[in-house]
Amino acid sequence: MNPVYEKLMKCYESVREKIDFVPEIALVLGSGLGDYGESIDVVATLDYHDIEGFPVSTVEGHKGRFIFGYVDGVPVVCMQGRVHYYEGYNMTDVVLPTRLMKLMGAKVLFLTNAAGGLNWDFAAGDLMLITDHIMNFVPSPLIGQNINELGQRFPDMSDIYKPDLQEIIRSTAKELNLKLQEGVYIQLSGPNFETPMEVKMCRLLGADAAGMSTAAEAVAANHMGMRVCGISCISNLGCGMTSSPLSHIEVQETADRVAVQFKQLVTASIVNIHKHINA
């Protein structure tokens, strides 16, 4: 058996020995949504450490666990803490949790992250609906022998971030009176932030926000036929766009400042997506 698939199935069996919860929506919690667990009627939690073969994060402050439960009655699984490519994992490990949540039963992948704004119309603290992505600067998670059980060798990527889900998030933000920017996310390897020239290059390529996660997860999910949507918290403007140097503390502080609105938007969007896919 393909070793990547074998590892995935081992993790799946390990999860299923402990919990039989079937989520409808898989939510990946980025910076700023770290305490989103408080918005969930928690049924169970499962530390990544307790899943056999699971890649575990090394970043300080990233709690690594799945939370299973209900957001306003909608069954969800949340990833509280993800693993990043810059930590040294290969891309197949980075997307293993995403694949695992699909195997658990999730139909929709709702991605969130903190990202640097590249668009001059953006400000720190804005929320951005992801409409598409660029990830050519990091390897595809689909490199290697194709896992036919998950999806096809050459999957189409023309509408990863599903237009109907985008429209739901857009209208939900309107209902809540929240400002929502829109744009293209570019995934870079990190862990260093970009140089001012790299920021300019990304903007010239058409990107509106830069980050170190998310796009690879979206590709793996789309490969498996999951419906994907995502929101970035613009935690800062890209290097060189302001006079001050960038720090992880600034990223965290901005994310914390807008956490209330971010959580509100995610919760209401989950409810509306649930209604939509069950209509």
Piece of 21-29, 123-131, 148-156, 206-214 that binds ligand HPA (CB under 6 A): 206-214
In a 3-state reduction of DSSP, which class is residue 29? strand
Quote the least distance from Cβ 27 to ligand HPA, whole Å.
19
What is the distance between the alpha carbons of residues 249 and 65, in angstroms, rounded to a whole number? 23
85 is a catalytic site residue: no
Choice among 84, 133, 223, 274 that is catalytic: 84
Catalytic residue at 79?
no
Distance CA 155, CA 63 (A): 32
Cβ-contact 157, 105 below 8 angstroms: no
Q: Which is nearer to ligand HPA, 172 or 254 (CB)?
A: 254
Binders of ligand HPA among residues 222 to 241 (CB under 6 A) are 235-236, 238
246 CB-near residues (< 8 Å, 6+ apart) = 116, 193, 236, 239
Has 212 been annotated as catalytic? yes
Q: What is the Cα Rg of the chain in Å?
A: 18
Judged by CB, which is closer to ligand HPA: 148, or 189? Answer: 189
274 part of the active site: no
Q: Which of residues 134-193 bind ligand HPA (CB under 6 A)?
A: 193
The DSSP call for residue 128 is E
Per-residue x/- track, 101-140, ligand HPA (CB under 6 A):
-------------xxx------------------------
Least Å distance, CB 269 to ligand HPA, is 21
User: Is 22 exposed, middle or buried (CB count within 10 Å of its CB: 0-12, 13-18, 19+)?
Assistant: exposed
Cβ distance to ligand HPA smaller for residue 71 or 186: 186
Q: Is 39 tagged catalytic?
A: no
Q: How far is the CB of 131 from ligand HPA (least distance, A)?
A: 18
**CA 75/CA 26 separation, integer angstroms:** 9
Q: How far is the CB of 133 from ligand HPA (least distance, A)?
A: 13
How far is CA 187 from each of CA 4, 73, 190, 250, 267, rounded to the nearest angstrom? 23, 33, 9, 20, 25
Torsion of CA 264, 45, 23, 126, to 10 degrees: 30
| Enzyme catalytic residues | 31, 62, 84, 86-87, 114, 212-213, 236, 248
The residue ranges that bind ligand HPA (CB under 6 A) are: 114-116, 193-194, 210-212, 235-236, 238, 246, 251
